[in-house]
Amino acid sequence: MSEKPIMWIGKQPGQKTPAPNPEKDEALAAELGAVCEAAGYAVDGFLAAHGNYGSWLVRMSNAGKNYQLIWDGKAGKLLHHVAISSGGWDELSSCDIAEKDTVGFVAGTSELLQKQQA
């Protein structure tokens, strides 16, 4: 039998996917929710993906429009989207996050939402 190459998706051989940490997720959701609400958004939900990249999503609304704030862990970008009437999402703004922790995410969220208000 011949050897065939193996593709490891998102990690190196022998690495495990990080274990879910509900307490950390709840703390992050609370911090992000406070920033969003201070900017005038109503937070509708928070979803955390427990994979290799640690991505998450905040769903929110303001003035009858739906928005989402997404941490794309694979790309290392924080994205702010608005729902469009024909379906789907339109990117309003994005930024890179240097520190991938609660402090960095809160600072990036504040920056994106301030851009939108300007």
Task: Over range 8-15, report the average pLDDT.
Answer: 60
Amino acid 52: pLDDT: 66
Q: Which contiguous run of DSSP H or E holds residue 110? A: helix 102-117
- Look at residue 98 in the predicted model and tell me its pLDDT: 84
Angle at 13 (CA atoms; ends 11, 19), nearest 5 degrees: 55
The backbone torsions φ and ψ at residue 17, rounded to the nearest 5 degrees and listed phi first, read -65, 135
For the segment 30-51, the average pLDDT, to the nearest whole number, is 92
Average pLDDT over residues 38-49: 93
With cut-offs at 50, 70 and 90, classify the pLDDT of residue 60.
Answer: very high
Using 50, 70 and 90 to split pLDDT, how confident is the model at 118?
low
In the prediction, which pLDDT does 41 show?
95
State the pLDDT at residue 15.
Answer: 60
